[in-house]
Structure 1
Amino acid sequence: MSRTLPPPPPRNSQRGDRHDDKKRRLRRGHIGHSSNRSQLDEDLESMFSSLTIDNIPAEANSGDCGMDRKRKSYKDQAGVENMISSLAIQEAAVTNSVYRGQRKKFSDLILDDRKILAKGNSDCNDPGSRSLRSKEFIEGINDLLLRHQGSGVRYFAVHFDLNSTHAVYLDKWVQFASKSDAKYVTLHLCENGISCSRHSVTASRYNFPLHCFGDGRGSLLRKLSLTNCIFSTPVHSSGFSSLVQLSLRRVTTADSDIQNIFSCFPVLRDLKLQCCEDLVNIRISHETLLELHISCCQKLKSINIHSISLDIFEYDGHQVQIKYESTPSMRRIAIKFVDRNCSLPDDLLAMERLKKVTLWFLSPSEEPSFILHAKTFTVLQLVSLSILPSWNNVLAVAYLVKATPSVKRLHLEACSGEHHYLDNVQVDWPEHISLKKLRTILVGGFAAQAPLVELLAYLSRVATRLKLLEISPHHHRYKDSGRCVSEDVGVEAAWDHARNAARATIGLKLQSTVKFVVK
């Protein structure tokens, strides 16, 4: 006897049942939001309040802290979905983005006024308004961090005008970054779009708690960038074995702190010091440092460098004494003195790997310093010069290239179209000069300045194997080094005049083997 099977249910009914069931589940979850919200806030508050400076060393001394963090991370991540379902719709977006970061095992937290504050706030210059904005900003960050799981943060950055009066909050945020094993940390405590020089917060700068990362548990921090802070280093610390880049801008720090940096950060590769007003005599002694950048340190008097691995050194500021005690690996040097012309230091003779030097000649009335170039620097192959085209300056350039007979590429950048010279001046160019290896001359900011025209004509005569001379009225770089021609009224006519003058005064004097390009 055959049994009659019941007909299968329609597909649409199954889909409808599932759809209705999903609706019922969503409604139940939404209704339960108000009852579970208070308990959720208490749990998050407890999680965030556990991040304190005092308990970091205590946890670091526990041998099971690594396993505890792992177990806690697994438990926290398991509860992320429950947290999302219980949050309001307008709040779930932030948490959901954090959850996606958890699935990727890292997330980036870049906290600034554009992301935290509501648009259209009142005038930032009003003290009352700034206080309200600071309060709103702090509350916004605290609320966001309460929703974060506290692990898997790769980049943690705060960009806002805060100082020592907000230290209790900043300390919490720095602890959060440390606990989260952040690799890149930035504190830019300035208003967005406003130069730090306009902030009178020197007396109330935030003291960065470096010990939060150097607690002995092996910090993963690789890059630290601070602006408008106080930075002091311990005499001995072994908790920064991963930091490779340190940037200090408008930071209160002492000469002794700079010396201690290299004992605290044994693998540091890149150091930037900008507008650090308290530095006077800097001594750089490190075996792994590759790049050193120093600029606008007003009280600075001397820089002594002892680093066998240093590859790049750049200085921008008033004239200081620079001594290269031991830099055999140096490949590139860029020096800019804002108050006088530069020259090649005698220490370059010991840098056998040096290939490129960038110098500035910006003083219009200074006597030519060609006496300082009595020695010959045969190692240099690329020379880049930014000049204010006066007769003294172009004469100094001529003596400089005479001292670098192996140069293959010369870049000249004229920083101004203004006249800093007299016309029809007879110049005694250096004799017995040979630039047989010079193949390329590039000129930017050309405005038919008489000294520059004569310099190029002279160089084309002594560079017997020159292959390319390229002239452009446009500025290639160093736009902040002087007044650019491109900012003048009637710039197109000025450019055309410069191009025609180049063809008439220089192009006709070149040999047929030289490729002449006017852009």
Structure 2
Amino acid sequence: MPAKRNQKRRRRQIRAQNELIRWCKRKGSPCQHGDSRAVKTMRRSTPYPCLPEDIWHHIHSLMPMRDAARAACLSRTFLQSWRSHPNLILNKDTIGLNASACGGNFSRKVDHIMRNHSGIGVKIFRLEYLGVVGFDASRYLDSWLQVVVKPGIEELTLVLCKTKREYNFPCSLLSDGIQNSIRYLRLHWCVLRPTAELGPLQSLTSLRLRSVSIRGEELQCLLSNSPALEQLRISSCTEIVCLKIPCSLQKLSNLTVIGCDSLKVLENKAPNLSSFFVSGCSNLTILENKTPNLSSFFCRGVGAKLSLGETLKMKKLGMGRANAVHYARAELPSIMPNLETLNIRSGPEVQQRRMEHESVFAKSLGLRQIPENRHDSLKTLKISGFCSAKSLVELTCYILKNVVSLESLTLDTIYGDCRCYLKTSPFCNHIEEGILMEAPRELSAIRRYIEKIVPTTVNCSGALQ
């Protein structure tokens, strides 16, 4: 048995050695020029005499995780630097597990790495259980974080799995001397309970929380202690009922809120917010922006009344909600004169199966005229789920007549993103009979009212082609 173990160890060393030599060749080291003496030196686990040790440590820190680990099997110098490797990116790929690996094997390998790491000099720590079957690392996590979360760490990513007992992230770690270094914090599937005792995170620029148990007032406590925050992304955090972004976040430019089912109030006072994305918050009743610098706004699956504040700087607008067509037809011409990109989805309003608005072919007067407003900025228009609804045809005609800057027009007669031909999804949405029955009317509406007024300078796609 000892002989077999030695043979396996020797094979691993040879494999690691060959990987390191190949890596050196890619990077243009002496190996690339056939320097056999350098290779022999490497095999004797002695650094090249012409380079100081700190240079080798730096070279080692630039290697991908797997290459760095293999190099540590060959060289005492690399082994020493491995124990203080600055970038610990731990997932099933870097650990070397196959797709069906279980959580137990993953956790044991990670634990072995963490036990052999000094915890000194860690800049990036990413622990990702994505694609690993079964999660059993709860008993390890506290000790692992104690090793790496120290002054100097810049990025902390903890992507866990759904379990009956959620991991309680120790907020005390955020107060133990890392306030001036942590820049990026990403947490999935855990409990986060920040309190008023939390110190200011002076360098935190990006915060991403997904499926994290955190209440609205706790999140606001965390935000009030993050004055340098630039990006905030909140996904599926179902305990948040009210979220008010404070005006103290002077640098916040990007806000994304997705799938927070309990959220009822969302208010922004961050003065320099430029991009605002809200989707899937079905119970949201108040959505308010109180700052003047918003240039990109998208909302989908949100029934809340919109209050976007001053919109003169708005350049990109996407709406997937009831009454989006009415809003675009009645409100946008006067309040967003600098709009460049408009994407509208309004399934309930113009649904092919049971339209709320009358068809353009109904027995009534002709198209209504919208007060004309010249638009010099709108360049791109896409309407998903286009049909023969009268209001939709009127909106399209209005844009074609008044938007002199228009470059691209897409009338997509199918609602939804799952399209085999676009390769955005492995499957396609089922197209119901009512939608197929509406298709001839859609085409007739386009040919009768729209096709003849499309400028030659506009690139058309979708049903117009």
Indicate the TM-score class for this superposition, using the shorter chain for normalisation.
Answer: 0.5 to 0.7
The 3 A distance-change label for structure 1 pair 170 and 517 is: same
Contact 1:466 1:514 in 2 (8 A): no
The equivalent of 1:436 in structure 2 is: 374
Deviation, structure 1 residue 168? 3.5
2:272 matches 1:309: yes
* 3-state SS of 1:251 partner: strand
Preserved contact between residue 150 and residue 178 of structure 2 (Cα < 8 Å):
no
TM superposition shift of 1:188:
0.7
What is aligned with 1:334? 298
- Summarize the alignment of residues 37-56 of structure 1 with structure 2, pairs less than 5 Å apart: none
Per-residue CA deviation, residues 188-213 of structure 1 (Å, 9 max, x unaligned), is: 102xxxxxxxx4x3x51111123223
CA distance in 2, matches of 1:472, 1:497: 14
How many residues align? The count is 385
1:155 correspondence with 2:124: yes
| Partner SS, residue 358 of structure 1 | strand
Q: 1:437 is matched by which residue type in structure 2?
A: H
Aligned residue for 1:420?
A: 354
Residues 502/91 of structure 1: CA separation in 2 closer, same or farther (3 Å cut): same
1:479 aligns to what SS in structure 2?
A: coil
CA contact (8 A) 2:386 2:412 kept: yes
Amino acid across the alignment from 1:225: R
Aligned partner letter, 2:156: V
Query: C-alpha deviations, 1:37-66, integer Å up to 9, x for none?
Result: xxxxxxxxxxxxxxxxxxxxxxxxxxxxxx
Residue 279 of structure 1 and its aligned partner are, at CA, apart by 1.1
Per the alignment, residue 291 of structure 1 pairs with 254
Report Cα offsets for 1:109-138 as digits up to 9, x if no partner. 22123333643647xxxxxxxxxx333222
Name the counterpart of 2:447: 504
Q: Which position in structure 2 is the counterpart of 1:409?
A: 340
- Counterpart residue type for residue 330 of structure 1: L
Cα 1:215–1:480 change in 2 (3 A) is farther
CA separation of 1:158 and 1:451: change in aligned 2, threshold 3 A = farther
Whole-angstrom CA distance in 2 between matches of 1:502 and 1:397: 19
Corresponding residue to 2:146 among 172, 175, 197: 175
Counterpart of 1:136 in structure 2 is 105
Does residue 209 in structure 1 map to residue 170 in structure 2?
Answer: yes
Distance 1:445 1:503 in 2: 14
Contact 2:151–2:177 (Cα < 8 Å) also in 1: no
* Residues 252 and 276, structure 1, Cα contact 8 Å, conserved in 2: yes
Cα separation, partners in 2 of 1:216 and 1:93, compared to 1, 3 Å: closer
CA distance in 2, matches of 1:466, 1:92: 57
Q: CA deviation at 1:91?
A: 7.2
Tell me by how many angstroms 1:247 deviates.
0.8
Is the Cα–Cα contact under 8 Å of residues 297 and 316 in structure 2 kept in the other structure? yes
Partner of 2:220: 259
1:208-258 Cα distance to aligned partner (Å, 9 max, x none): 123223213654111000000111113133362211111111111122211
Q: Show the 5 A alignment for 1:6-85.
A: none
Normalising by structure 2, report the TM-score: 0.66
SS at match of 2:318: strand
Q: Distance in 1 between matches of 2:240 and 2:85?
A: 37
Partner residue in 1 for 2:320: 360
Correspondence 1:218-297 to 2 at 5 A: 218-238=179-199, 240-285=201-246, 286-288=248-250, 289-297=252-260
* Correspondent of 1:322 among 286, 293, 299: 286
Shift >6 Å, 4+ stretches: 161-165, 483-486, 496-500
Measured at CA, do residues 428 and 313 of structure 1 come closer, stay the same or move farther in structure 2, by a change above 3 Å? Answer: farther
Partner of 2:309, secondary structure, is helix
Determine the C-alpha separation between the residues in 1 that align with 2:367 and 2:121. Answer: 64
Q: TM-score, normalised by structure 1?
A: 0.60
Distance in 1 (CA, whole Å) between partners of 2:255 and 2:454 is 42
Q: Give me the whole-angstrom Cα distance separating, in 2, the residues matched to 1:435 and 1:208.
A: 54
CA deviation string 1:459-499 (max 9, x = no partner): 25752746545235498x97279x99965689xx99x9899
Letter of the 1:177 counterpart:
V
Q: Say if 1:276 and 1:121 are closer, same or farther in 2 by CA, change over 3 A.
A: closer
| Identity of matched residues, % | 18
Contact 2:215 2:240 in 1 (8 A): yes
Residues 282 and 343 of structure 1, relative CA distance in 2, 3 Å threshold:
closer
Shift of 1:436: 1.2
Match in the other structure for 1:61: none
**Does the alignment pair 1:108 with 2:108?**
no
Whose radius of gyration is greater, 1 or 2?
A: 1
Structure 2 gaps of 5+ residues are 1-35, 46-52, 61-66
Secondary structure of the equivalent of 1:204?
Answer: coil
Aligned pair in 2 of structure 1 residues 172, 356: CA closer, same or farther (>3 Å)? same
1:274-333 CA-to-partner distances (Å, cap 9, x unmatched) read: 111111122221332222222211222212332223332222211424364742333333
What do residues 148-204 of structure 1 show as CA deviations (whole Å, max 9, x unaligned)?
A: 4533433211112799974441112212221373311111102xxxxxxxx4x3x51
Structure 1 pair 259–162 and aligned structure 2 pair: CA distance change class (3 A) = farther
Say what the alpha-carbon RMSD is for the aligned residues. 4.7
Q: 1:106 to 1:442 in 2, by over 3 A?
A: farther
Q: Which residue of structure 2 aligns with residue 470 of structure 1? A: 409
Runs (5+) with no aligned partner, structure 1: 1-17, 30-72, 81-88, 123-132, 191-198, 369-392
Following superposition, the deviation at residue 504 of structure 1 comes to: 2.9
